[in-house]
Amino acid sequence: MEIINSVITFFGENIQIIYILILSIFVGIEVISKVPSALHTPLMSGANAIHGVVVIGAIIVMGHAEEGNWLAIILGFLAVILGTLNVVGGFVVTDRMLEMFKKKK
C-alpha cells in the first residue's frame, strides 16, 4: 500500500512533466508522419543525435559530484565522453549523409 501511495504522490508532484511527456509523444509522431523513405536513414541518424541530449544528465552528475567520490567522478567522466560522442558523431554523420542530397543541375 505504501508503495502505491508513493507512486501516486510521485504522479501528483510531477503532473506538469507528465503532461509534457504525453504531448511530446504526439509531437514526435506528428512531426515525422510524412517522411519519404529516402530520408529514413538520415532521419534516424538525426534523431539518434538528438537523444544525445542525455549528455546533459552526465554533466549534471559530474558537476555535482563531491570531491573524493571517485565512483561518481569516473563514471560521470565516462558518461560525458560517451554522451558527447553520441551528440557530435550523430550530427556530423547526419550532415555527411544530407550533404549528398544537394540539388544538381
Partner 1 sequence: MQNQYWLYLIYLLASVSFIVGLKMLSGPKTARKGNFLAAGGMALAILGTIFLHQNEEGHLIGNYGWIFGGIAIGTVVGWLSAKKVQMTDMPQMVSLFNGMGGACAGLISIVEYKHLHDTASTGAVITILLGLIIGSVSFSGSIIAYLKLQEIMKKTFRLPAQNIFTIVLLLMILGMLVMTIMMPAMFHLYILLILSLAYGVLFVLPIGGADMPVVISLLNSFTGLAAAFGGFLYDNQVMLTGGILVGSAGTLLTILMCNAMNRSLMNVIFGSFGGGNAAAVGDDGFVGTIKSTTPSDVAILMKYAQNVVIVPGYGLAVAQAQHVIHELEELLEKEGVNVRYAIHPVAGRMPGHMNVLLAESNVSYDKLVEMEQINDDFSKTDVVFVVGANDVVNPAARNNPASPIYGMPILNADKAKTVIVSKRSMGKGYAGIENELFGYDNCLMLFGDAKASIGKLVAELKEL
Q: Which residues contact 19 (CB under 8 A, 6 or more apart)?
A: none
* Angstrom distance (rounded) from CA 99 to CA 105: 15
Q: Is 68 in the site for partner 1 (CB under 8 A)?
A: no
Cell of 103: 540539388
Task: Kindly write out the interface string for residues 11-40 of this chain, putting x where it contacts partner 1 by CB under 8 A and - elsewhere.
Answer: x-xx--x--xx--xxxxxx-xxxxxxxxxx
For partner 1, the binding residue among 1, 15, 64, 68 (CB under 8 A) is 64
Q: How far is the CB of 70 from partner 1 (least distance, A)?
A: 11
Is the CB of residue 59 less than 8 Å from the CB of residue 73?
no
Cβ of residue 60: shortest distance to partner 1, in angstroms? 6
72/61 Cα distance (integer angstroms) = 7
Is residue 103 a contact residue for partner 1 (CB under 8 A)?
A: yes
Q: Of 1, 15, 68, 100, which lies in the binding site for partner 1, with binding defined by CB under 8 A?
A: 100
Q: Which three cell numbers stand for residue 66?
A: 563531491
